[in-house]
Amino acid sequence: MPQYTEATERHLKWVSSLEDIRKLSVESQKELFKEEQLKHLDYLLVSAANCQHCTFVIDKELVNETPVPSYSTLRRFSYFLNAYGWYLADKGNYEKAAETFIHLFRFGTNLSNDRLILSLGAGSTFQEMALSSIEKLLELPDNKKFRKIINDYFKTLPKPATDYRKVMRNEQRYIENIFESLELLPGLLVDAYIFKEDDYKKKKTSVSVKSSDMSCVLNQRVLTGAVEMYLMDHEDFVLEKDSDFIKKLVEEKYLKVRPVCENKGVYSAAFSPDGDAVIRCSCGVTQHQIEEKIEKEDSRFSPELSKAIDKYIKSKTFTKEKKELMEFYKEQNQLDIYSAADDSKVEKFIRRVKESKNKLVNNLVFNSEGLIKRLRSIQKRVDKLAAL
């Protein structure tokens, strides 16, 4: 993928038609679509299309340290690939434009089927991007040639295109692997908010971190996660410079409550040059600043928190809750989200997860109605293209 300026990237994410690609400046188009780079890209895309299975996952054991590309990197690539398709269409090369949008859909599908829920959320976003461009391309006159290219691809796809059950099985296996590791389990229990450091006495160290500063950093992390999840569902979301974006996240249930800075700061959001969502607070506290201090400590957790986690892991409560969690996973893996016959079962399952008193179930069982609706919509659009 070519390197391009932040200004070009800002325009790139809005390209979704011939009209949009024509709005890109000549300088931006030259920056993006250099012939020598495109030849190499085309070769890689065709090679990927010929693979039996493409994966981003190096460690197939699904343990905590499995490396995957950042969502922002994948998102930037998808923006570029989508714009490249419209660049080709603008040059009159509709057949290759169709193939490029298919490459983008394949990219999203491979990612969706590859690993865990976060990969599925990102991959399905890229699938939607590709489908929107394909549908607009088909609206152009004289589409007989590239219409066949599109139809030939989609009618050979397995049904469903995204194997939701496989992702859920991977999610279960991932959690089971961590449960088997006494080294990794405490981190999972804290990262999933099953245990919170704030509920326990702070560790006294030579490095002083004010509780209000730590609280602000935790709020920034929560906001970052909420924005990233929102972006997966709403590619057109514009990050505001004031705190209005937080209101939107709360209203649409990506946040339960509005985070409040104990230092009386105001949170704001922006995109970094790499495309990451960056949350800042006017109080001046930053995640990097606090992390540098924490790194100097001997342990990630206070002795009190470590003791509480250890006690929980050895308790009958943990044994019972873990068993119940696995029963939820088993039930989830039997649901067919694409079948109307299972609609009531899916609704009941999601409600039971929300109402469960088991913290493991509350925090580790995925229950997004929004993502399920998106996957169903994608499959309907795929079926329509397969029947052209």
Highest mean pLDDT among 42-56, 90-104, 198-212, 279-293: 90-104
- Which long-range contacts (C-beta less than 8 Å, at least 24 apart) are formed by 319-324? 321/358, 321/359, 321/360, 321/361, 322/179, 322/360, 324/358, 324/360, 324/361
pLDDT of residue 326: 92
Contact between 78 and 108 under an 8 Å Cβ cutoff? The reply is: yes
pLDDT at residue 208 greater than cutoff 80 = no
| Pair of tokens at residue 194 | 């099953």
Contact between 246 and 335 under an 8 Å Cβ cutoff? The reply is: no
Q: Work out the percent of the chain whose per-residue pLDDT is above 90.
A: 27
State the span(s) of the chain assigned CATH 3.30.1300.80: 204-298
pLDDT in tens, 225-274: 888 888 777 766 666 555 578 888 888 888 888 889 999 999 888 877 66
Of 57 and 100, which is predicted with more confidence? 100
Q: If you average pLDDT over residues 30-49, what whole number do you get?
A: 77
> Which of 185-189, 271-275, 368-372 is predicted least confidently?
271-275
Q: Is the peptide bond before 160 cis (omega within 30 degrees of 0)?
A: yes
pLDDT of residue 57: 54
pTM: 0.70
pLDDT of residue 205: 46
pLDDT at residue 136 greater than cutoff 60 = yes
> Which of 195-204, 368-377, 378-387 is predicted least confidently?
195-204
Radius of gyration of the chain, Cα coordinates, nearest whole angstrom: 23
Letter for the amino acid at 124?
A: S
Contact between 216 and 261 under an 8 Å Cβ cutoff? The reply is: yes
pLDDT in tens, 95-107: 999 999 999 999 9
Of 6 and 375, which is predicted with more confidence? 375
pLDDT of residue 65: 52
Of 309 and 271, which is predicted with more confidence? 309
pLDDT of residue 251: 86
Q: If you average pLDDT over residues 343-368, what whole number do you get?
A: 87
> Which of 269-278, 313-322, 338-347 is predicted least confidently?
269-278
pLDDT band at 58 (very low <50, low <70, confident <90, very high): very low
pLDDT at residue 204 greater than cutoff 50 = no
pLDDT in tens, 162-171: 999 988 888 8
| DSSP structure string for 172-185 | HHHHHHHHT-TTTH
Task: Name, in order, each residue with C-beta under 8 angstroms of 121's C-beta and a sequence gap of 6 or more.
Answer: 229, 232, 233, 371
Of 154 and 185, which is predicted with more confidence? 154
Q: If you average pLDDT over residues 319-325, what whole number do you get?
A: 93
pLDDT band at 203 (very low <50, low <70, confident <90, very high): very low
Burial 340-379 (b: 16+ CB within 10 A, else e): eeeeeebeebbeebeebebbbbbebbbbbeebbebbbebb
Domain 204-298 sits in CATH at 3.30.1300.80
Quote the mean pLDDT of the chain.
Answer: 82
Of 140 and 7, which is predicted with more confidence? 140
Q: How many CA atoms lie within 13 A of 386 on its CB side?
A: 14
Q: Which of 337, 328, 388 is nearest to 155 (CA)?
A: 388
Contact between 200 and 310 under an 8 Å Cβ cutoff? The reply is: no
Q: Work out the percent of the chain whose per-residue pLDDT is above 70.
A: 82
Q: If you average pLDDT over residues 4-8, what whole number do you get?
A: 68
